[in-house]
Each structure stands twice: as C-alpha cells, then as structure tokens.
C-alpha cells in the first residue's frame, strides 16, 4: 500500500483509537523511555493487530529529520478525503459548519486550525488541492490526531466549492481585517456557515471575497500587524461556541 508517516505519541494514539486508517507498522525507538503513552500505543497496536517493532533512534531520525517524533513513528495509508457532495449529503437536515482554507501554506497552522475545528464542533474543513498545504505528517502531529475526527474535503476549485455550498443553504463568512463588521456581530447558531480563512500573508483572494455573504474582522486594541491565521480561526470559532453555549443554557432555563 501507499504509505505516509504519523509521528508523535498523541497523533498515533488517536489514529489507533479511531481505527479507520490502514497501518503498515509502528516503529518505536529502542532508547525511548517506557512511559504511559508508549505502553498505550503497544496495547492498542496489539488490539488492532498492528505490527510494532523496536528500532534504533537513527532510523526514526532518518524518517523524521527534525527529531520531533517523540520516539515513535507509524507507517500508515494516506488520509482519506471526502467528496464535497458526500459531505453535503451527510449534513442534510441538521445545522452544519465548515472552515475553508484559502492558500494557508504553513503545516503547523493547518494542524492547529484542524485541532480548533474539532474542539469547536466544526463538521468539515476544505483544502485546495493546488494552493496551500494538504494533509501531511506535520499537520497530523500538530493536530494531535484531530484529523481523525473531522471530514476533510480536497477541492480543485474553491470558487466552485463555495458556490455549491451556497446552493445548499450555507452562509459564507470571510475573515478580512478590512471588514466593517466585527466577528461577534454574526449569529452563527441558526445557520449553516462556511468560514473562509486566508493565507498567512496574502489573505483571502478577491474572487472568494466577492462570494462572501459576510465579511468580519477581529477587533484589536493596537495597530500591531495581524493575528496568526490559526489564532484568528480559533477566536472566531470559539465565538460560535460561546454563542451556542449561551443559547443552549437559555433553552434549558425555559424548559
């Protein structure tokens, strides 16, 4: 099978627990300290019939030269992307949300954004197939395994994707520091929404901004540059979470 690698204890544990990826084998450094997470990896591997073996640390370093593997690397089948049409069909009849990344180029940012999306209950994340980062080992590590808990859609055209979402009752929200409206002025709780976040330096492309139903900014008290895209995404998503929690609390109070 075609393989990629997952490295880092949490990412490997999540993949083993989710159990929807085909594993080739797990390599554990023979000099790694036998901690709780290493033991958990071994236990889950045995449960799922996954081969694990102890190897020299140098072998792991050759696979992950930056040395961030934490003493363990798994060889697995690449992540499975979902088709947009299938995602829309799965979400029919319930409120849904997606985050669209327009040209985000830093794998650490993509991984952190996916982690925030899962924590905030976002249903899907959409990545362009040619401009920006797709799922790789760094994304998996940074997401701490969150990629196993969200639908990931890869698309050849973000414009066509957004138009398709709009046809299926999604409101499109673009994060733009030139916007007049603040991010907390939108009621996210009663709509299907697609939040567009732009590239680290270029922001959102003009073609996508034209398709947005709302443009929002995060207010800041100084003129210092701008927020990192992963931080900005988290701020907006947890405004949605805050609104949802308050709404549910009011509902419980009235019942």
Give tens-digit pLDDT for 132-175: 889 888 898 898 889 989 999 999 999 999 999 999 999 999 99
The two structure tokens encoding residue 53: 């073996």
Give the confidence band of 13 by pLDDT, cuts at 50, 70, 90: very high
Token output for 120: 């905030």
CA separation for the pair 49, 105 (Å, rounded) = 36
In the chain, where the domains are located = 4-76, 84-253
- CATH code for the part of the protein at 84-253: 3.40.1280.10
Question: Using CA atoms, how far apart are residues 74 and 50, in angstroms rounded to an integer?
Answer: 10
Least confidently predicted of 3-7, 24-28, 92-96, 155-159: 3-7
Q: What is the CATH number of domain 4-76?
A: 3.30.1330.30
d(CA 20, CA 68): 24
**CB-CB contact of 97 with 169 (8 Å):** no
CATH topology of 4-76 equal to that of 84-253? no
Instruction: Tell me the whole-structure pTM to 2 decimals.
Output: 0.85
Split at pLDDT 50, 70, 90, the class of 88 is very high
CA dist., res. 86 & res. 39, Å (int): 37
Res 239 pLDDT > 90: yes
Helices 84-91 and 158-167 cross at an angle (nearest 10°) of: 20
Does residue 1 register a pLDDT over 70? Answer: no
């Amino acid at each position: 099978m075609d393989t990629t690698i997952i490295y880092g204890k949490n990412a490997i544990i999540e993949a083993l627990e989710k159990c929807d990826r085909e594993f080739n084998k797990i390599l554990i450094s023979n000099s790694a300290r036998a901690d709780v997470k290493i033991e958990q990896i071994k236990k889950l591997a045995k449960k799922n019939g996954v081969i694990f073996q102890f190897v020299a640390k140098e072998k792991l370093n050759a696979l992950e030269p930056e040395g961030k593997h934490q003493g363990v690397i798994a060889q697995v089948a690449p992540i499975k992307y979902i088709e947009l049409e299938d995602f829309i069909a799965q979400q029919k009849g319930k409120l849904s949300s997606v985050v669209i990344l327009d040209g985000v180029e830093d794998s650490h940012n993509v991984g952190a954004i996916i982690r925030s999306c899962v924590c905030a209950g976002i249903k899907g994340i959409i990545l362009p197939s040619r401009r920006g980062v797709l799922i790789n080992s760094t994304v998996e590590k940074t997401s701490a395994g969150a990629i196993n808990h969200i639908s990931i859609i890869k698309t050849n055209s973000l414009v066509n994707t957004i138009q398709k979402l709009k046809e299926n009752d999604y409101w499109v929200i673009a994060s733009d520091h030139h916007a007049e409206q603040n991010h907390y002025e939108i009621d996210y709780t009663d709509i299907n929404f697609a939040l567009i976040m732009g590239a680290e330096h270029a922001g959102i492309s003009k073609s996508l901004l034209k398709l947005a139903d709302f443009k929002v900014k995060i207010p800041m008290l100084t003129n210092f540059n701008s927020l990192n895209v992963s931080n900005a995404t988290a701020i907006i998503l947890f405004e949605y979470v805050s609104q949802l929690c308050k709404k549910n609390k009011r509902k419980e109070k009235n019942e």
